[in-house]
Amino acid sequence: MPNLIPLNTQLSITDLGTRLRDATFVVVDLETTGGRPTDAGITEFGAVKVQGGQVIGEFATLVNPGMPIPAFIAALTGITNSLVATAPHLAAVLPTFLEFARGSVLVAHNAPYDIGFLKGACVKLDHEWPGNHVVDTARLARITLHRDEVANCKLSTLATYFRTEISPTHRAFDDARATADVLHRLLERVGDHGVETLEDLAAFTARVSPIQRTKRHLAAGLPDAPGVYIFRDPQGAALYVGTSKNIRKRVRTYFTASETRRRMSQMITIATSVDPIVCATVLEARIRELRLIAEKQPRYNRQSKRPERQTWLKLTDEAAPRLAIVREVRDDVANGACYLGPFRSSTGAQEASEALQFALPLRTCTTKLARNPRSTTAGCALAELGKCLAPCTATVDHEAYDSLVARARLAMSGAIGPVTEALQVRMRDLADQSRFEDAARWRDRLAHFVQASVRTHRLMMLAQIEQLVAGKPTPAGGWEVHCISYGALTGAITIPNGVDPLPAINALIATADQISQPAPARVAGLTEEAQAILQWLESDGVRLVRTSEPLALPIGCGGALLAQLGQVRNEIRAQEPVDYQWLTASARGKMVTRIA
């Protein structure tokens, strides 16, 4: 498919992220009286503001905590009660520090301790916590450094290892300056792992497995564009195929704490590369994903791997036609076969079959029958009960059975009135007998039949159109345009704002893939592909550019009734949060009358 997106499109700052060299860090250290953070017993602030490796600001002050300093704390830090007696109180210091740190990334060694006291101070003095992003150098060191490099990740150990200019002394300002030096050395280390932005750093320090962390480089160099990504194993086989509006951002999430799926962790362990396929639009990306999954059968994809597993309800083309649940649509429509579907499960197909069977009692036996059978005895109990015309017997009324088959074929072709009328009468009778659960079951059977009818004819509408071109405005003021043939996507472009769309659309049509007309009752591509196209065509803002055939559905195929059934279900669920089925007579009565 042609892609007219300019290759030199300028990315926004939000797409690129905040680069570490442009970020402002405030490295803070506190000395306290010990105790709980909510006590806010802070005795000293020390902070250094850095950007691009340079110090651009400093903040240091003693604080009168308003409470005695324990003797062992005074011995450790050298901060005594007499030393802080004339120092400003926390109420005067805290607002100044918050202003100093405004808009920056807070950094601390063992950050939960220092940040905990800062938050406790905000609560105690009724200040709103500004919500700065926080980096913990202790955690960053544990992730970045190997055990054979440092015995532990204490600040004094790291300062010695990195040979910082300032050694920590258990005084806030010295410790903050030492921590700033340690931060710079650690950022140099993580740069080797592809960490270049604050967003990269947040993902790198999240609680992820070592394997996820070591595979982060697989996202390097991926495009910031819609498309498909393929994780591959060492032999180049596809492990997993996915799609996203932004390939790079989506792939990066597989190496963060947000990815918790066990199978994805297994996949990442095996993966050695990620191949991107940039697409013009999100819809094109979705279609390519479906096609690749069906073709490659990647082991870690679960959905869309087996399009052949879809289920259809078929009216057969044999001498005495019957209803059958099948796995594929064959080339027998011209011989009289008729199909409804696809269904999401065989259960749904069975429910729809029972609805149609009740209204139009075709035979249910699977025996292959001759046009003129010789037997004079009915072969099943249904015939004996008068619920089957017994086409298996010599005395069958061929004209009556053929009429029944014709009505069933008509119902499956879009005129569902006889089926809905018969089932509505059945539900009223059951409701009059207070058999509400039985009535609800028939309502569900009717819903499966109506859903299949609408789904079938929406797909067939696309399957009959040789060329359909439609466009949708983009947020940037341009257009995304798709070319569709017989239910398959044959071309996609994005036209930038200010560009005359007509020449681009003509070029799209001229270069679109050529699709042969499929067999009757089929779309040219995957059924899921056609359903995705329909969903896009029905989304807000889509406009038809040209079409070789009108978009039309049979007037009686069930769209209005399907909407009523959905509304009734929603009302019942809203009234009955404990049991979604049939608890009250009021809900049951509404269920019957609304669809009648």
CA distance 594 to 560: 12
Q: Which amino acid is at 38?
A: T
Judged by DSSP in three states, 136 sits in strand
CB 411 within 8 A of CB 418: yes
Task: Write the single-letter amino acid at 92.
Answer: A
Quick one: how many helices (H) and strands (E) in the chain? 22, 15
User: Which two three-digit tokens encode residue 494?
Assistant: 């994005």
Residue pair 153/4 in contact by the 8 Å Cβ criterion = no
Phi-psi category of 297—alpha, beta or left, where left has phi over 0 and alpha has psi -120 to 50? left
505: CB partners within 8 A, 6+ apart: 469, 471, 481, 493, 495, 545
Q: Are strands 273-278 and 227-232 parallel, antiparallel or unpaired?
A: antiparallel
- In angstroms, the CA 338 to CA 332 distance is 8
Nearest of 260, 261, 266, 278 to residue 221 by alpha carbon: 278
Give exposure, 381-394, as e/b (b: 16+ Cβ within 10 Å): ebbeeeebbbbbbe
How far is it between the farthest Cα atoms of the chain? 117
What strand order describes the sheet that includes 273-278? 238-244, 227-232, 273-278
For 277-416, where are the alpha helices, taking DSSP H only? 282-296, 346-359, 381-384, 398-412
Catalytic residue among 170, 184, 193, 482: 170
Determine the distance from the C-alpha atom of residue 540 to the mean position of all C-alpha atoms in its chain, rounded to a whole number: 20
For 534, left (φ over 0), alpha (ψ -120 to 50), or beta? Answer: alpha
d(CA 378, CA 386): 10
Q: Let me know: does 193 contact 210? Beta carbons within 8 Å.
A: no
Within 8 A by CB and 6+ apart from 224, the residues are 11, 15, 16, 246, 247, 248, 249
DSSP 534: H
Please name the helix (run of DSSP H) or strand (run of DSSP E) that holds residue 211, with its range, or none. Answer: helix 210-214
Instruction: Please identify which residue in the block is written with the tokens 């004996």.
Output: 384
- 133 in catalytic set: no
Amino acid letter, 565: L
Catalytic residues: 170
